[in-house]
Amino acid sequence: MPIGVMFFLMAAFVVAVIYFTKAAVLQLEQQVDADVFKVKESYLGIIRQKDEQAAEKERLQEATRRIYNLYDLMRELTKAADVAEAFGIFKEHLHRELVVEDCQLVEHSPKDLAKFPSFKDYRFFPLKAKKMVLGELAYKGGQVDEEAFTILAQQFALALRRIRLCKELEDMAITDGLTHLHTRRYLMERFQEEFQRARLKGLALSMLMIDVDFFKRINDQNGHLAGDLVLREVGRFITQHTREIDITGRYGGEEFCVILPDTDKTGALVAAERIRAAVQAGRVLANDAELCVTVSIGVATFAEDAQQMEELLDKADWALYRAKKNGRNRVMGFKV
C-alpha cells in the first residue's frame, strides 16, 4: 500500500479516535454535571426541608408558649377578686404578649362615658359574654396582632362576667329583696365587727332601732301591697339620710336597724331625728291615696349605755319601746 494512503488512513484514524474520545468525554462531563445537579438539588431539598422543619418547630414552640401563657392568664384571672385586680392581670399579660401603647377599661358608667371624647386614636373592642355587652377595651399601639388581642380580651370578658355574677349573688345574699337594705344576718355580722373595733380602739358606737308606727293598721286598711310600699319607702328614706359608713338593715317585719360607727349619743340622736323627720315629711302614695307614715326610733350607745353587744341591742330596743309608749313618731335615747 502506498505510504501516502497509509498516512492518510492513520491520520483519519487518529482524527476519528480524537473525535469519539471528545464526544465520550463531553457525554461523560454532561452526565457528571447532571449527577452534580441532582445531588445539588437533593442537598438544597434537604436544606429546605430542615428550614421548614425549623420554622414549624419555632411555630409550634410559639403556639405552645402562647397556650401556656393563656393558661396562666386564665388561672390568674380565676383568682381575681374584683374588676380592678382582673384588669391589672389582663394588662400585664397584654403588654407581655403584644406591643400595645395603652389599654383602658370602659364599663359604660357615667364616669367612663365622660372619658370617651379623650380617647383619640384609640380603637375599641367590645367585651361580650353570653351575648351581653359588659363594656369595652379602649386600646392603641403600633401593629397589634388582632387575633392574639381578641383571644386575650375574650378571656378577660369571661373573668369580668364571673366577677359580676359573684357580686350579684353576694348582693342577693346580703340584701333584703323588698327594701334593698341589708338582711338581718349581714347586719348582725357587721354589728359584731364594728362593736369589736369600737371596743379595741375605744370608739363610740351607736345603734338605732326603728319601727313603723301603726303598720298593722296600714296593712288592714290599705292591703299588704300598700304595706310593702311603705316598707320600701321607709327603707329609701333611711338610706337617703344616713352616711356611707353607716350600716342599714331590715331587722324584721316593720323594724329597721342602723349602726352608726364612731358616733356618740348626741350624734346618734341627731341622725335619728333626721330620719324621723324625713319619713314624716315624705309622701307615700298607695292606691291613689297619700298615706301618713311615721316611725319611732330608739337610740343606745356603746360604751355609755352598754358594755356588751347583746346589751347594746337590748338597750336600743328598750328605748324604741319607750318611744312607742310615749306617743310614737319620736326619738328616744336609752335612759336608766
Judge if the upstream peptide bond of residue 303 is cis by omega within 30 degrees of 0.
Answer: yes
Q: Give the gyration radius of the chain's Cα atoms.
A: 43
Q: 61-66 — which CB contacts under 8 Å span 24+ positions?
A: 66/97, 66/148
Cell of 38: 441532582
Contact call for residues 305 and 281 (beta carbons, < 8 A): no
Q: Which helix (H) or strand (E) holds 179?
A: none
Tell me which of 189 and 106 has the higher pLDDT: 189
Residue 212: closest CA among 238, 185, 243, 247: 238
Beta-carbon neighbour count of residue 198 at 10 Å? 21
Class of domain 77-172: alpha beta
pLDDT at 15: 67
pLDDT tens column, 21-52: 777 777 777 777 777 777 777 777 777 777 77
Backbone phi, psi, residue 75, to 5°: -65, -45
Contact call for residues 191 and 306 (beta carbons, < 8 A): no
pLDDT category of residue 126 using cuts at 50, 70 and 90: confident
List the Cα angle 186/213/302 in 5-degree steps.
Answer: 45
Cell of 1: 500500500
Check for a shared fold between 77-172 and 184-333: no
Beta-carbon neighbour count of residue 24 at 10 Å? 10
182 SS3 class: strand
Sequence-separated (6 or more) residues with CB below 8 Å from residue 170 = none
Beta-carbon neighbour count of residue 153 at 10 Å? 21
Domain ranges of the chain: 77-172, 184-333
User: What is the identity of the amino acid at 268?
Assistant: A
Average pLDDT over residues 167-177: 83
pLDDT at 29: 74
Backbone phi, psi, residue 202, to 5°: 65, 40
pLDDT category of residue 138 using cuts at 50, 70 and 90: confident
User: What is the identity of the amino acid at 82?
Assistant: D
Strand ranges of the sheet holding 100-106, from the earlier edge strand across to the other edge: 100-106, 132-141, 123-129
- The alpha helices in the chain, defined as continuous H runs, are 3-79, 83-97, 110-113, 146-174, 184-201, 215-222, 224-240, 265-281, 309-325
Beta-carbon neighbour count of residue 80 at 10 Å? 19
pLDDT category of residue 313 using cuts at 50, 70 and 90: very high
pLDDT at 95: 81
Task: Out of 11-15, 91-95, 166-170, 251-255, give the one with best mean pLDDT.
Answer: 251-255
Tell me how far apart the alpha carbons of residues 117 and 140 are, in angstroms, rounded to a whole number: 15
Tell me how far apart the alpha carbons of residues 174 and 184 are, in angstroms, rounded to a whole number: 8
Q: Which range has the worst mean pLDDT, 24-38, 102-116, 275-289?
A: 102-116
Contact call for residues 213 and 282 (beta carbons, < 8 A): no
Burial 40-75 (b: 16+ CB within 10 A, else e): eeeeeeeeeeeeeeeeeeeeeeeeeeeeeebeebee
The question of whether 254 is a catalytic residue gets the answer: yes
Average pLDDT over residues 16-24: 73
Candidate CATH numbers 3.90.870.10, 3.20.20.480, 1.10.3720.10, 3.30.70.270; the one for domain 184-333? 3.30.70.270
pLDDT at 45: 78
Active-site pick, 136, 254, 255, 310: 254
